[in-house]
Amino acid sequence: MNVLSRINSPADLKGLSSPELQQLADDVREFLIDSCSSTGGHIGAGLGVVELTIALHYAFDAPRDQLVWDVGHQGYPHKVLTGRRDRMSTLRQEGGLSGFLKRGESPYDAFGAGHAATSISAALGIAAGRDLNHDDFKVVAIIGDGSMGSGLAYEGLNNAGASERDIIVVLNDNEMSIAPNVGAMHKYLTSVQRNPLYNRLRSAVGHVFEQYAKGKGPLHDLAAIAKKLEESAKAFLTPGVLFEEMGFRYFGPIDGHDIDGMIETFKAVRAFKGPRLVHVITQKGRGFPAGEHGEKWHALPPGHDPATGKLLTASQANPNYTSVFGRGLTELMHEDPRLVAITAAMPSGTGANLVQKAHPTRFFDVGIAEGHAVTFAAGMATQGLRPVTAIYSTFLQRGFDNIIHDVALQHLPVIFCLDRAGLVGEDGETHAGLYDIAYMLAVPHMTVTAPANGAELIGLLRTAMAHDTDPFSIRYPRDAAPDLVPAASAIPVVPYGTWDVLRKGRDEVAVLAVGTMVAEAMRAAESLSAEGLDVTVVNCRFLKPIDQLSLAALLTDHRTLLVVEEGTVVNGFGAYLSSVVEQMEPQVRVIAHGVPDRVVYAASRARQLAQCGLDAAGIAAKVRALHDAEALAR
């Protein structure tokens, strides 16, 4: 019998028997596998926390008790059990459920989360607010062991442990973030799972305690002594000592797939006060027919076969920019032994896994620690190496201070490769890389570039390698490259600081296109030509420095420059160029056409571009409007 069909809210869990709870776990897992095979999504983490989610909702009283999930990858079972089961078919689609946690979506989502390691800090803030408001609900942060490698997690733990506030942290330990975890914390946490001495001792003590703890006399005293012995052993042999020293009362490790055991633990922990941490061992991807624990099952695209994880319809598109970058960098590293690659827990997501295979001693995964990745790269640069730091645009936001203070101010030649720059489709607003143009332009000594195609991406990497005095950034989208890219050895360096005039028009409007917008601008120009409008199109592959010679020529022949960029229009390239042109030719107008100053929600990437007027039709419409305005002004 399907138990899930009877669950419309967490309150419906309370009356279920132990066998029914286990059946519910099986139902949720089966439902998620089937649902995500159509919608795509971050399935691996969700499958690993099914039993944990059931136990939490059974033991706590959400939404009054606040469950603060980290990242959101873990949140799919939570969505299913909190009244959103019937909408899971809309996951990651326009107007549908978010792929992450979202306060506006449900009262059960206590805090929005798309980036890692926010849960402990947020939960502590909620607990402080509760105490100031003289309320008495419980606050639980659920964080994965991968996120525990992030500095923000340590900051939250440090503050929470010292605060003595009533807060519970559940550490979901599955030995994975996206790729297998790295770093000292990972080794520390996994030591308990592989310590046979502690496990044998715990089993023996548990047997003695169960037999004699309820009675009185010598045997009862023996059980108490045995229990103290176990606690002492735990302090020496488990990760608990670290958390105890930080001010947390430590419980665990416990089996994250034993619903009854977790419910019992959570009920006991709920009754205490102060900071406490429950260490739960789970298996990422548990029950997925195509296999468990694999990095490739972390997230899957829509329309995949759940038995194999493969797409049901093979893609006919060119290789994406990510694979172009990974292959190109791998080849360039054969040419230059100074090149090293750094990523932050995203080897396959950034294409750096290809480097890892070919150049294992020159590849560095620092875990979910973007700020550290930047400063680590800066340190390597002081030793004559040429670090290539491959991080998603949205995640590099976390390293902004490091970029300025540790790299730019010291004139260190770190190369920043920003994957997923621009609109990212179904991953939605938390992962959109809309701000890197604005924040990189603001960094002193930074070269800012955007290739129009895959070959130009590799050409700009060559340019960056030759530019050894200051940092260099290259942004590229989550999309297929518009060209078939030859081997890196066949691609020349892009001349530093140059633009490329692709189409010389007679009209007074020139379109200055950035990166992904070059192809769209060319398509717009072709359609406008059929209407009698002849516009210039320029590939502005260098945003900083500006190609002064090309700009001067454009200012001579055009009255309006339309800057088209796949990034925020606020303080973007258009705004930057406008300030430059105002000093050179104040009578020439610069119009910025980019992503508006609003949130762009999940939809297909093509749909998002169309909504922002950043497809060929939208660019053509903007040019027509500007041309008509010019005609009226005359």
Which residues in 73-89 are b (16+ Cβ under 10 Å) and which e?
bbbbbbbbbbbbbeebe
Q: Are 407 and 128 in contact (CB under 8 A)?
A: no
Which residues in 106-119 are b (16+ Cβ under 10 Å) and which e?
bebbbbbbbbbbbb
Q: Which of 65, 71, 64 has its CA nearest to residue 48?
A: 71
Sheet holding 500-503, edge to edge: 500-503, 536-539, 509-513, 560-568, 589-595
Q: How many helices (H) and strands (E) does the chain have?
A: 24, 17
Sequence-distant (6+) residues with CB within 8 A of 39 are 88, 89, 90, 91, 92, 93, 302
Helical H segments across 213-250, by residue range = 218-237, 240-245
CA distance 20 to 26: 10
Question: What are the E-state strand segments in 224-301?
Answer: 249-255, 275-281
According to DSSP, the residues that pair with 279 across neighbouring strands are 171
> Any idea which residues carry the catalytic annotation?
284, 370, 398
CA distance 132 to 463: 56
Half-sphere exposure of 447 (CA within 13 A, CB side): 29
> DSSP string of 414-452?
PEEEEETBB--GGG-TTT-B-SHHHHHHTSTT-EEE--S
According to DSSP, the residues that pair with 143 across neighbouring strands are 171
Rg (CA), the chain: 27
CA distance 271 to 92: 38
Distances from the Cα of 407 to the Cα of 13, 252, 399, 418, 617, angstroms: 52, 42, 11, 16, 40
Q: Which of helix, strand or coil describes residue 473?
A: strand
Cβ neighbours around 318 below 10 Å, total: 17
CA distance 215 to 479: 68
Structure tokens at 4: 């899930």
Q: Which of helix, strand or coil describes residue 75?
A: helix
Structure tokens at 384: 């004559």
Task: State the residue for tokens 């140059």.
Answer: 498
Structure tokens at 364: 């560095």
